[in-house]
Amino acid sequence: MATFDVESYTVVLSQIGGKPPGAWRVLILTSPALAHDIRNHASIYFFDPPPGGGTGLVHNVDQPNFDGIGVSAFLWKADFAAWYDLLRNEQPLKFAYYYDGEGSYDPNRPTRELFGVQLYTGLPEPPGEGPEDLQAKLFPADALDLLRKAQDSGTDAET
């Protein structure tokens, strides 16, 4: 399994014609800068149905240049919301990918078949974090205390 930390992401929503694949989504994940300002990228495409018979491709494997690894994955459009939710709400995040010939050096095969991808939190997290993380970023602590007290007493927070 190869991995990289996710420093940033870009979202693309597209609609081309009214026939499949029609509407599709892309999440482009970017790693922090490595040596010589190299960055790895993953373009996660969401189609209905995904094109081709495989999960995707890994590009620039075992190459002696200053370009990072590029991953192109093709997933089901129904999975987009879960991936996007994780990107929007969690940090740190890691991206993992599994590909043909991983761990063996073969510069004659710069493009490899992709077997699987994962997006996951980079550190253990306590259970029950939930939406209060977001609320804490949006509201001062004293406003959250007032809202909680009002909720506990069954009264309206606006009174």
Sequence-distant (≥ 6) Cβ neighbours of residue 54 within 8 angstroms: 74, 113, 114
How many independent structural domains does the chain possess? 2
Percent of the chain with pLDDT over 90: 53
Contact residues for 63 (Cβ-Cβ < 8 A; gap 6+): 107, 110
**Which residues, other chains included, contact 51 with Cβ-Cβ below 8 Å and sequence gap of 6+?**
21, 74
Q: What's the pLDDT at 143?
A: 66
93 in Cβ contact with 40 (< 8 Å):
no
Domain that holds residue 113: 2-125
Same domain for 142 and 118: no
Same domain, yes or no, for 119 and 138?
no
Please provide the average confidence, as pLDDT, over all residues in the chain: 85
Q: Residue 140: what pLDDT? A: 64
CB contact at 8 A, 59 and 72: yes
One domain, residues 75 and 145: no
User: Which stretch, 31-35, 68-72, 140-144, has highest mean pLDDT?
Assistant: 68-72
Predicted confidence (pLDDT) per residue in 110-128, tens digit: 999 999 999 999 888 777 6
Please tell me what DSSP assigns to residue 35: G
Q: What is the pLDDT of residues 52-99, one digit of tens each?
A: 777 999 999 998 877 899 999 999 999 999 999 999 999 899 999 999
Q: Give the separation between CA 78 and CA 83, rounded to whole angstroms.
A: 10
Whether residue 155 is found in the same domain as residue 78? no
* Contact in structure between 74 and 51 (CB atoms under 8 Å): yes
Asked if 5 and 30 count as a contact pair (C-beta separation under 8 A), the reply is no
Residue type, 65: N
61 lies in the same domain as 135: no
Q: 72: part of which helix (H) or strand (E)?
A: strand 70-76
* Global confidence as pTM: 0.76
